[in-house]
Amino acid sequence: MLTPNEVRYGNWILVPTAKNKFEWDRVIEISEHRVVTKFYSQNNSMGYAWKDVKGIELKAELLNMAGFVSNKIVPFIKDRLAITARSGQDYILEWYKGDELMGTPGTSFKDLHELQNIYHSLTGKELELNHSKSLQ
């Protein structure tokens, strides 16, 4: 379950479907009691109670869709921001200048919306996804 304080406009989250499955949609409206989303390829939107939505767990395929690529130093890097896995399924973000580690924000994360929020805070840009691949 997500809360209004965790999510911002443009975040991708999982929303329930009619068949007890989830699909990923983009947040377009936030209130105390519900979130409104829109799937990227459709024009209609839908509102959901916060208890019914959840984060999208980060995986290598999703990081690649977000433009993070491997290099000699770290497994995933984009715009001098590197993502490394920690114990379990948590990730941590580090930023580099060339090959030199400049710092670590210190916040671990495991879901796409958390990475989107950190990325936006550090770069001022949205973390866009390449939708040429499907993700379920």
Identify whether residues 85 and 33 lie together within a single domain.
no
pLDDT tens string 73-118: 667 878 778 887 776 678 888 877 777 777 776 678 999 999 999 8
Identify whether residues 115 and 66 lie together within a single domain.
yes
Look up the domain containing 19 and give its range: 12-52
Identify whether residues 66 and 102 lie together within a single domain.
yes
Q: What is the DSSP string of the chain?
A: ---TTT--TT-EEEEE-TTS-EEEEEEEEE-SSEEEEE-TT-S-EEEEEGGG-BPPBP-HHHHHHTT-B--SS-SEEETTEEEEE-STT-EEEEEEETTEEEE----EE-BHHHHHHHHHHHHSS-----TTS---
Residue 58, pLDDT above cutoff 70: yes
Q: Is residue 117 part of a domain?
A: yes
- What pTM did the predictor assign? 0.84
Q: Is residue 133 part of a domain?
A: no
pLDDT band at 49 (very low <50, low <70, confident <90, very high): very high
Q: Average of pLDDT values for 60-71? A: 85
